[in-house]
Amino acid sequence: MAREAVYQQTAPDDPGDVPPKVPLSGGSSGEQEPNDRDGELRPRRLDEMVGQRDVIERLKIAIDAARGRGEPLGHILFDGPPGLGKTTFATVIPAEMGTTVQMANGAGLSAPKDLLPYLTNVSERSVLFIDEIHRVPKAVEEYLYTAMEDFRIDIVLGEGVNARTLNFELQPFTLIGATTRAGMLSAPLRDRFQIREHLGWYTEDQLCELVIRNARKLKIQTDQPAASEIARRSRSTPRLANNRLHWVRDYAQIKAKGNVTIGVARDALDMIGIDRLGLDKQDRNYLQTLIRVFQGGPSGLEAIAHTMNVSSDTLEDEVEPFLLRSELIVRTRRGRLATNKGFEHMKMQPPAA
């Protein structure tokens, strides 16, 4: 009775406020996927995934062991750059476990009451996925501690001297957290994840395989050279490869009767300003500004941002990471410097020594 009474006092008045459980075994495809463009391309099982093989092998062992014991899978934390498959893992793992998943975003959990509907709706061995978990406030984070460790939460009813605390027992569940900034997680929360996996960049061959598989799903007539061209311009990131593939499909449908050849792929990607290294217009504008205005540097980020009329946060978070990874620029104490590779890519000569 205590469990029922607590739920009645804490559940939202509008049933529509209760986050739905998303079944991953059976049901319609609309129920199985987050509402994003990648839904139609998202794998359903671990064996369907491309890349991250070391992560997949470790997860298979953990999943098989948990199923063998009839226990929930240990809590999992995925970290890594955007677009590498964190959400895909969060949908595939429940399918492997034969259970359901609820999805939340850390930015939307501003207070413990926002988390409560999710926790009260977990079923035994189900999964709660929190994307951008580094954005969860401290008060909500502390609320997760007992939920993760003891599968219970403490609910305070009333205020002042009339306040009382009720213990609400939860069904044993698995929390999957995803973050692009693992360093922003507090140590107590980070240590409560039994499994922690870092997702790395994809190779060109892996992305080529991904493009070929997804082209079949989209019923696109393509060939290996065209898939390789799309993969080469996708910055080692599956999400970008899928985005590029969608655009190439649209272009081919209008310009090439739906047939994707390497020439069609190049023309399509050139049209939206994606060059052979995967740089877009803003990336090249950054390099051009650094080289033409600041003679290749060193230059401060703020100076480059003001010259381009772009916020420094945009450059630091969206533009520079790929330029640094591609060895087109370097960051020093004195500022940003264009490398010889950067000059060559922009077909510009380095200043005389």
Look at residue 79 and tell me if it is in a domain: yes
- What pLDDT, in 10s, does the model give residues 44-90? 889 889 989 999 999 999 999 999 888 899 999 999 999 999 999 99
224: domain CATH number?
A: 1.10.8.60
> How many domains does the chain divide into?
3
- What pLDDT, in 10s, does the model give residues 281-290? 999 999 999 9
Instruction: Indicate whether 191 and 264 sit together in one domain.
Output: no
Q: What are phi and psi of 298, to 5 degrees?
A: -75, 145
C-beta of residue 78 within 8 angstroms of C-beta of residue 52: no
Catalytic-residue membership of 205? no
Mean pLDDT of the region 148-174? 77
CA pair distance 329, 334, nearest whole angstrom: 13
Catalytic-residue membership of 42? no
102: domain CATH number?
A: 3.40.50.300
Provide the percentage of residues in the chain whose pLDDT is more than 90: 57
Catalytic-residue membership of 150? no
Task: Choose the catalytic residue: 146, 180, 261, 307.
Answer: 180
pTM: 0.79
19: confidence class by pLDDT, cuts 50, 70, 90: very low
Mean pLDDT of the region 339-350? 89
Is the pLDDT score of 227 beyond 50? yes
Task: Choose the catalytic residue: 86, 232, 235, 249.
Answer: 86
Per-residue DSSP letter, 310? S
Whose tokens are 């009839």? That residue is 70
Catalytic-residue membership of 257? no
CA pair distance 90, 38, nearest whole angstrom: 14
CA pair distance 156, 195, nearest whole angstrom: 31
Is the pLDDT score of 1 beyond 60? no
Catalytic-residue membership of 131? yes
For residue 247, the enclosing domain spans 204-271
Provide the percentage of residues in the chain whose pLDDT is more than 70: 86
Q: State which of 245, 271, 297 marks the end of a domain.
A: 271
CA pair distance 163, 158, nearest whole angstrom: 4
Task: Choose the catalytic residue: 239, 244, 266, 336.
Answer: 239
66-72: Cβ within 8 A, 24+ apart = 66/97, 67/97, 67/98, 71/125, 71/172, 72/124, 72/125, 72/172, 72/173, 72/174
Look at residue 309 and tell me if it is in a domain: yes
CA pair distance 53, 46, nearest whole angstrom: 10
Is the pLDDT score of 42 beyond 90? no
Instruction: Indicate whether 227 and 80 sit together in one domain.
Output: no
Whose tokens are 């975003």? That residue is 105
Please state the separation of Cα 304 from the chain's center in Å: 29
Instruction: Indicate whether 45 and 173 sit together in one domain.
Output: yes
Q: What are phi and psi of 203, to 5 degrees?
A: -80, 165
Instruction: Indicate whether 169 and 222 sit together in one domain.
Output: no
Beta bridge pairs of residue 103: 129
Instruction: Indicate whether 231 and 286 sit together in one domain.
Output: no
Please state the separation of Cα 180 from the chain's center in Å: 7
299: domain CATH number?
A: 1.10.10.10
Q: State which of 178, 198, 218 marks the end of a domain.
A: 198
Q: What are phi and psi of 172, to 5 degrees?
A: -60, 125
Look at residue 353 and tell me if it is in a domain: no
What Cα–Cα distance (Å) separates residue 60 from each residue in 46, 64, 114?
A: 8, 6, 32
Task: Choose the catalytic residue: 10, 87, 91, 289.
Answer: 87
